[in-house]
């Protein structure tokens, strides 16, 4: 039974939107998600202490920079998969992939690269100032919520107020 005769309409297009050699298409379809899955196995998970986070900060930032590039390639993989079903030109597919790329990239930049660079920059500060940076960074999305509470939503609710208090206390401790 052909896909065109399936009740509910056609779900497969024999003519791809982007004609690529089969081997290149398969590589772009399979390799990025597999590389991302393999990379996630070595995701840095330092202890929630100032020293542990500073020690892992370079790898933390590098890991998330690599992940950022792979996420773009995963978006290409999803687009090619949608193309296999004749849906790559559908506006819903393009908007969905675009939103995923924009929002995940923004999240990953803040949570991963930003945390790594902030803690790496704190290496030259005094112990009190390092603690102030840590108090701010530990509440950033994705870093410490899963460690401190079973309900990540609770961590997000108070993050802004805790970050504001921590930055005020860090500023006042650095001026004294």
101 touches 147 (CB < 8 A): no
Q: How far apart are the first and last CA of the chain?
A: 78
133 touches 170 (CB < 8 A): yes
pTM of the model: 0.65
For residue 96, which phi and psi values (nearest 5 degrees)? -60, -45
Phi-psi region of 8 (alpha: psi -120 to 50; beta: other; left: phi over 0): left
Please give the biggest Cα pair distance in the chain: 78
* CA atoms within a 13 Å half-sphere pointing along the CA-CB vector of 15: 1
Render each residue's pLDDT in the chain as its tens digit; 176 residues: 444 444 445 555 557 777 889 899 999 999 999 999 999 898 888 888 888 888 888 888 899 899 988 999 999 999 888 888 878 788 888 899 999 999 988 888 778 888 888 888 888 889 889 888 888 887 776 555 434 434 444 343 344 444 444 444 444 554 55
């Amino acid at each position: 039974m052909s896909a065109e005769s399936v009740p509910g309409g056609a779900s497969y297009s024999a003519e791809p939107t982007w004609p690529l050699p089969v081997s290149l298409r398969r590589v772009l379809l399979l390799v990025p998600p597999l590389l991302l899955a393999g990379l996630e196995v070595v995701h840095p998970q330092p202890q929630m202490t100032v020293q542990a986070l500073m020690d892992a900060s370079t790898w933390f930032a590098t890991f998330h920079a690599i992940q950022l590039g792979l996420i773009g390639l995963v978006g290409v993989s999803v687009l090619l998969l949608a193309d296999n079903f004749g849906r790559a030109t559908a506006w819903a597919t393009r908007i969905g992939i675009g939103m995923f790329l924009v929002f995940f990239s923004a999240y990953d930049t803040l949570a991963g690269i930003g945390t790594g660079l902030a803690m790496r920059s704190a290496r030259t500060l005094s112990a009190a100032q390092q603690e102030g940076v840590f108090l701010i960074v530990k509440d950033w999305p994705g870093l410490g919520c899963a460690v401190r509470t079973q309900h990540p939503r609770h961590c997000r609710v108070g993050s802004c107020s805790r970050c504001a208090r921590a930055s005020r206390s860090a500023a006042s401790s650095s001026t004294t």
